[in-house]
Protein backbone atom coordinates (compact mmCIF):
# COMPACT_ATOMS: atom_id res chain seq x y z
CA UNK A 1 0.00 0.00 0.00
CA UNK A 2 1.36 3.40 -0.94
CA UNK A 3 1.83 5.77 1.97
CA UNK A 4 0.31 9.21 1.58
CA UNK A 5 0.89 12.34 3.62
CA UNK A 6 -1.39 15.31 4.17
CA UNK A 7 0.17 18.73 3.62
CA UNK A 8 -1.67 21.46 5.48
CA UNK A 9 -5.25 21.49 4.28
CA UNK A 10 -4.30 20.12 0.88
CA UNK A 11 -5.03 16.71 -0.54
CA UNK A 12 -2.61 13.95 0.52
CA UNK A 13 0.58 13.79 -1.52
CA UNK A 14 2.25 10.46 -2.39
CA UNK A 15 5.57 9.84 -0.69
CA UNK A 16 8.18 8.46 -3.05
CA UNK A 17 10.35 5.60 -1.78
CA UNK A 18 13.83 6.56 -0.58
CA UNK A 19 16.63 6.30 -3.11
CA UNK A 20 19.10 3.44 -2.70
CA UNK A 21 22.14 4.82 -0.87
CA UNK A 22 25.55 4.39 -2.47
CA UNK A 23 27.55 2.07 -0.15
CA UNK A 24 30.62 4.30 -0.51
CA UNK A 25 28.64 7.28 0.74
CA UNK A 26 27.13 5.25 3.56
CA UNK A 27 30.66 4.59 4.85
CA UNK A 28 31.24 8.30 5.46
CA UNK A 29 30.19 9.23 8.99
CA UNK A 30 28.55 12.62 9.33
CA UNK A 31 27.89 14.92 12.27
CA UNK A 32 24.61 16.81 11.79
CA UNK A 33 24.93 20.26 13.37
CA UNK A 34 21.82 22.33 14.08
CA UNK A 35 22.86 25.80 15.33
CA UNK A 36 19.32 27.08 15.75
CA UNK A 37 18.14 30.28 17.37
CA UNK A 38 15.23 28.87 19.38
CA UNK A 39 12.15 28.16 17.30
CA UNK A 40 11.84 26.67 13.83
CA UNK A 41 9.14 26.33 11.22
CA UNK A 42 7.38 22.93 11.15
CA UNK A 43 8.20 22.68 7.43
CA UNK A 44 11.91 22.89 8.23
CA UNK A 45 11.62 20.32 10.99
CA UNK A 46 9.69 17.95 8.71
CA UNK A 47 12.20 18.25 5.88
CA UNK A 48 15.11 17.51 8.23
CA UNK A 49 13.33 14.57 9.84
CA UNK A 50 13.28 12.95 6.41
CA UNK A 51 17.05 13.39 6.14
CA UNK A 52 18.06 11.76 9.44
CA UNK A 53 19.75 8.39 9.13
CA UNK A 54 21.12 7.08 12.42
CA UNK A 55 23.14 4.40 10.61
CA UNK A 56 25.67 6.99 9.52
CA UNK A 57 24.80 10.21 11.34
CA UNK A 58 25.02 11.65 14.81
CA UNK A 59 23.51 15.02 15.62
CA UNK A 60 23.73 17.98 17.96
CA UNK A 61 21.32 20.83 18.61
CA UNK A 62 22.60 24.10 20.04
CA UNK A 63 19.97 26.80 20.46
CA UNK A 64 19.03 29.92 22.36
CA UNK A 65 22.14 32.07 21.73
CA UNK A 66 21.23 35.36 20.06
CA UNK A 67 24.61 35.36 18.28
CA UNK A 68 24.43 32.46 15.84
CA UNK A 69 28.21 32.38 15.34
CA UNK A 70 28.51 31.19 18.94
CA UNK A 71 26.20 28.26 18.19
CA UNK A 72 28.14 27.41 15.04
CA UNK A 73 31.39 27.41 16.99
CA UNK A 74 29.92 25.20 19.72
CA UNK A 75 28.71 22.71 17.12
CA UNK A 76 32.15 22.68 15.49
CA UNK A 77 33.83 21.97 18.83
CA UNK A 78 31.48 19.03 19.47
CA UNK A 79 32.08 17.76 15.95
CA UNK A 80 35.86 17.77 16.47
CA UNK A 81 35.40 15.63 19.59
CA UNK A 82 33.39 13.10 17.58
CA UNK A 83 34.74 10.40 15.23
CA UNK A 84 32.78 11.79 12.27
CA UNK A 85 34.59 12.77 9.08
CA UNK A 86 32.18 15.49 7.94
CA UNK A 87 29.92 18.04 9.59
CA UNK A 88 26.66 18.99 7.86
CA UNK A 89 25.35 22.30 9.18
CA UNK A 90 21.67 23.10 8.64
CA UNK A 91 19.89 26.27 9.77
CA UNK A 92 16.44 26.56 11.29
CA UNK A 93 14.89 28.43 8.35
CA UNK A 94 15.79 26.28 5.33
CA UNK A 95 13.60 23.72 3.58
CA UNK A 96 15.43 20.68 2.23
CA UNK A 97 14.50 18.65 -0.82
CA UNK A 98 13.97 14.97 -0.17
CA UNK A 99 10.61 13.88 -1.54
CA UNK A 100 9.61 15.66 -4.73
CA UNK A 101 5.86 15.65 -4.04
CA UNK A 102 5.81 17.37 -0.69
CA UNK A 103 8.84 19.57 -1.44
CA UNK A 104 7.18 21.13 -4.48
CA UNK A 105 3.84 21.33 -2.68
CA UNK A 106 5.34 23.18 0.28
CA UNK A 107 7.64 25.50 -1.68
CA UNK A 108 5.76 26.03 -4.93
CA UNK A 109 9.09 25.77 -6.78
CA UNK A 110 7.91 22.94 -9.08
CA UNK A 111 11.41 21.60 -9.58
CA UNK A 112 12.00 18.47 -11.66
CA UNK A 113 11.79 15.29 -9.58
CA UNK A 114 15.55 14.71 -9.89
CA UNK A 115 16.23 17.90 -7.93
CA UNK A 116 13.18 18.10 -5.66
CA UNK A 117 13.67 14.50 -4.58
CA UNK A 118 17.41 14.39 -4.00
CA UNK A 119 18.94 13.44 -0.66
CA UNK A 120 20.89 16.47 0.57
CA UNK A 121 23.62 14.50 2.30
CA UNK A 122 24.19 12.05 -0.54
CA UNK A 123 24.28 14.89 -3.04
CA UNK A 124 26.90 16.93 -1.18
CA UNK A 125 29.07 13.93 -0.34
CA UNK A 126 29.02 12.76 -3.96
CA UNK A 127 31.11 15.77 -5.05
CA UNK A 128 34.06 14.71 -2.87
CA UNK A 129 34.75 18.29 -1.79
CA UNK A 130 35.84 19.38 1.66
CA UNK A 131 33.75 22.54 1.76
CA UNK A 132 30.51 22.73 -0.22
CA UNK A 133 27.06 24.18 0.32
CA UNK A 134 23.62 24.19 -1.23
CA UNK A 135 21.98 27.09 -3.06
CA UNK A 136 19.45 29.29 -1.35
CA UNK A 137 18.36 32.91 -1.65
CA UNK A 138 17.87 35.75 0.81
CA UNK A 139 14.46 35.52 2.43
CA UNK A 140 12.74 38.50 0.83
CA UNK A 141 11.53 39.34 -2.65
CA UNK A 142 14.90 40.77 -3.71
CA UNK A 143 16.89 38.02 -2.02
CA UNK A 144 20.19 37.26 -3.72
CA UNK A 145 21.77 33.82 -4.17
CA UNK A 146 23.77 33.28 -1.02
CA UNK A 147 27.29 32.75 -2.29
CA UNK A 148 30.09 35.18 -3.11
CA UNK A 149 29.62 35.88 -6.79
CA UNK A 150 25.83 35.56 -6.59
CA UNK A 151 25.76 38.45 -4.14
CA UNK A 152 28.45 40.48 -5.87
CA UNK A 153 27.60 40.30 -9.58
CA UNK A 154 24.26 40.88 -11.32
CA UNK A 155 24.99 38.49 -14.19
CA UNK A 156 25.78 35.73 -11.69
CA UNK A 157 22.64 36.56 -9.74
CA UNK A 158 20.60 36.14 -12.93
CA UNK A 159 22.39 32.89 -13.74
CA UNK A 160 21.67 31.45 -10.30
CA UNK A 161 17.95 32.11 -10.80
CA UNK A 162 17.97 29.60 -13.65
CA UNK A 163 18.65 26.86 -11.06
CA UNK A 164 18.47 23.98 -10.60
CA UNK A 165 21.62 23.40 -12.64
CA UNK A 166 23.43 20.09 -12.34
CA UNK A 167 26.84 21.58 -11.54
CA UNK A 168 29.01 22.92 -8.75
CA UNK A 169 31.10 26.10 -8.84
CA UNK A 170 34.09 27.31 -6.83
CA UNK A 171 33.22 30.51 -5.00
CA UNK A 172 34.66 33.09 -2.63
CA UNK A 173 32.21 31.98 0.08
CA UNK A 174 29.03 29.98 0.44
CA UNK A 175 26.35 30.46 3.08
CA UNK A 176 26.31 28.31 6.18
CA UNK A 177 22.59 27.43 6.11
CA UNK A 178 23.35 24.14 4.34
CA UNK A 179 27.08 23.52 4.45
CA UNK A 180 29.14 20.31 4.42
CA UNK A 181 32.57 20.69 6.02
CA UNK A 182 35.34 18.10 6.22
CA UNK A 183 37.29 17.74 9.46
CA UNK A 184 40.50 18.82 7.68
CA UNK A 185 39.13 22.33 7.17
CA UNK A 186 38.93 22.94 10.92
CA UNK A 187 42.29 21.27 11.54
CA UNK A 188 44.04 23.44 8.99
CA UNK A 189 42.41 26.63 10.28
CA UNK A 190 43.57 25.78 13.81
CA UNK A 191 47.08 25.09 12.54
CA UNK A 192 47.24 28.45 10.76
CA UNK A 193 45.46 30.47 13.50
CA UNK A 194 45.88 28.69 16.86
CA UNK A 195 44.08 31.47 18.72
CA UNK A 196 40.83 30.49 16.91
CA UNK A 197 40.86 27.00 18.45
CA UNK A 198 39.07 26.16 21.72
CA UNK A 199 41.46 26.75 24.59
CA UNK A 200 42.39 24.88 27.74
CA UNK A 201 40.18 27.15 29.86
CA UNK A 202 37.10 25.79 28.13
CA UNK A 203 36.37 28.77 25.94
CA UNK A 204 34.74 27.85 22.64
CA UNK A 205 36.48 28.18 19.29
CA UNK A 206 36.08 31.15 16.97
CA UNK A 207 36.06 29.40 13.59
CA UNK A 208 32.97 31.31 12.49
CA UNK A 209 33.49 34.54 14.40
CA UNK A 210 34.56 37.78 12.77
CA UNK A 211 37.36 38.19 15.29
CA UNK A 212 40.41 40.35 15.81
CA UNK A 213 42.85 37.47 15.22
CA UNK A 214 44.50 39.02 12.13
CA UNK A 215 45.19 42.27 14.00
CA UNK A 216 46.47 40.42 17.07
CA UNK A 217 48.88 38.37 14.96
CA UNK A 218 50.33 41.55 13.48
CA UNK A 219 50.59 43.26 16.87
CA UNK A 220 52.45 40.30 18.37
CA UNK A 221 54.83 40.17 15.40
CA UNK A 222 55.58 43.87 15.73
CA UNK A 223 56.06 43.66 19.48
CA UNK A 224 58.57 40.89 18.87
CA UNK A 225 60.49 43.07 16.44
CA UNK A 226 60.43 46.11 18.72
CA UNK A 227 61.59 44.16 21.76
CA UNK A 228 64.90 43.32 20.11
CA UNK A 229 68.18 45.08 20.74
CA UNK A 230 68.33 46.77 17.36
CA UNK A 231 65.65 49.43 16.96
CA UNK A 232 67.07 51.19 13.92
CA UNK A 233 65.61 52.06 10.56
CA UNK A 234 65.57 48.47 9.31
CA UNK A 235 63.41 47.34 12.23
CA UNK A 236 61.09 50.32 11.78
CA UNK A 237 60.65 49.41 8.13
CA UNK A 238 59.81 45.80 9.04
CA UNK A 239 57.21 46.98 11.57
CA UNK A 240 55.68 49.40 9.08
CA UNK A 241 55.55 46.72 6.36
CA UNK A 242 53.93 44.21 8.71
CA UNK A 243 51.28 46.69 9.89
CA UNK A 244 50.46 47.76 6.32
CA UNK A 245 50.07 44.12 5.27
CA UNK A 246 47.80 43.45 8.24
CA UNK A 247 45.71 46.52 7.49
CA UNK A 248 45.21 45.35 3.92
CA UNK A 249 44.39 41.79 5.00
CA UNK A 250 41.79 42.97 7.51
CA UNK A 251 40.23 45.48 5.11
CA UNK A 252 39.77 42.91 2.35
CA UNK A 253 39.22 39.67 4.27
CA UNK A 254 37.54 40.70 7.52
CA UNK A 255 35.77 44.06 7.17
CA UNK A 256 33.28 45.17 9.79
CA UNK A 257 29.82 43.80 9.18
CA UNK A 258 30.66 40.63 7.25
CA UNK A 259 28.74 37.47 8.05
CA UNK A 260 30.24 34.47 9.78
CA UNK A 261 29.88 32.49 6.55
CA UNK A 262 32.20 34.91 4.76
CA UNK A 263 34.82 34.98 7.52
CA UNK A 264 34.83 31.18 7.82
CA UNK A 265 35.16 30.58 4.08
CA UNK A 266 37.84 33.26 3.81
CA UNK A 267 39.91 31.44 6.41
CA UNK A 268 39.26 28.06 4.80
CA UNK A 269 40.36 29.33 1.40
CA UNK A 270 43.59 30.73 2.83
CA UNK A 271 44.56 27.28 4.09
CA UNK A 272 43.81 25.59 0.78
CA UNK A 273 40.13 24.62 1.00
CA UNK A 274 38.15 26.25 -1.79
CA UNK A 275 34.43 26.70 -1.05
CA UNK A 276 31.96 25.35 -3.62
CA UNK A 277 28.27 25.97 -4.21
CA UNK A 278 26.01 23.27 -5.65
CA UNK A 279 23.58 24.92 -8.08
CA UNK A 280 21.57 21.71 -8.31
CA UNK A 281 20.81 21.52 -4.59
CA UNK A 282 18.11 24.19 -4.25
CA UNK A 283 16.75 24.90 -0.78
CA UNK A 284 13.84 27.00 0.31
CA UNK A 285 14.47 29.88 2.71
CA UNK A 286 11.60 30.72 5.04
CA UNK A 287 10.65 34.35 5.54
CA UNK A 288 7.12 35.67 5.02
CA UNK A 289 6.99 32.91 2.40
CA UNK A 290 9.41 30.22 1.22
CA UNK A 291 11.87 32.01 -1.05
CA UNK A 292 13.95 30.54 -3.85
CA UNK A 293 15.00 31.10 -7.47
CA UNK A 294 11.44 31.36 -8.79
CA UNK A 295 10.05 34.02 -6.44
CA UNK A 296 13.00 36.35 -5.82
CA UNK A 297 13.89 39.11 -8.25
CA UNK A 298 16.93 41.25 -8.96
CA UNK A 299 16.64 44.79 -7.70
CA UNK A 300 17.05 47.14 -10.67
| Cα–Cα distance, 266 to 262 (Å, whole number) | 6
Digit-coded pLDDT (tens) for 223-281 = 666 676 566 667 666 666 766 666 666 555 555 456 788 989 999 999 999 999 999 99
Tell me, yes or no, whether 299 lies in a domain.
no
Assess whether 175 and 266 both reside in one domain: yes
Do 136 and 276 reside in the same domain of the chain?
yes
| Residues 117, 225 within the same domain | no
Residues 134 and 246 reside in one and the same domain: no
Residue 281 lies in a domain: yes
Statement to judge: residues 278 and 141 lie in one domain: yes
User: Which among 80, 9, 70, 26 has a CA at the least distance from the CA of 204?
Assistant: 70
Nearest to 20 by CA among 96, 133, 117: 117
Is 202 inside a domain boundary? Answer: no
Number of domains in the chain: 2
| pLDDT for 10 | 45
Give the range with max mean pLDDT: 58-67, 152-161, 206-215.
Answer: 152-161
What is the rounded distance in angstroms from the CA atom of residue 214 to the CA atom of residue 193? 9
- 66 burial type by CB count under 10 A (0-12 exposed, 13-18 middle, 19+ buried): exposed
Cα separation, 179 vs 52, in Å, equals 16
CATH of the domain at 163: 3.90.550.40
Asked if the structure places residue 112 within a domain, the reply is yes
Q: Does residue 234 share a domain with residue 165?
A: no
99 and 228 together in one domain? no
Q: Strands, DSSP E only, in 157-233? A: 168-170, 178-182
State which residues form the domain around 230.
211-256
Please report the pLDDT score of residue 199 as a whole number. 74
Do residues 250 and 157 share a domain? Answer: no
Amino acid sequence: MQIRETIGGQAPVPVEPRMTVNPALMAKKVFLALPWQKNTNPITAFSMANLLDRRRMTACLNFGDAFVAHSRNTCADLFLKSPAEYMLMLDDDVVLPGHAGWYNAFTGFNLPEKFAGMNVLDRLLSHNKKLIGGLYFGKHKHGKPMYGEGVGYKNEEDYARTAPLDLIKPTAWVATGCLLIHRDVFRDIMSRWPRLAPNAQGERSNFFTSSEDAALDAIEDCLGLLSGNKLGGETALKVLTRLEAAKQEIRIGYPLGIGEDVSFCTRAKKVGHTPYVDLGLVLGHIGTEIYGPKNTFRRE
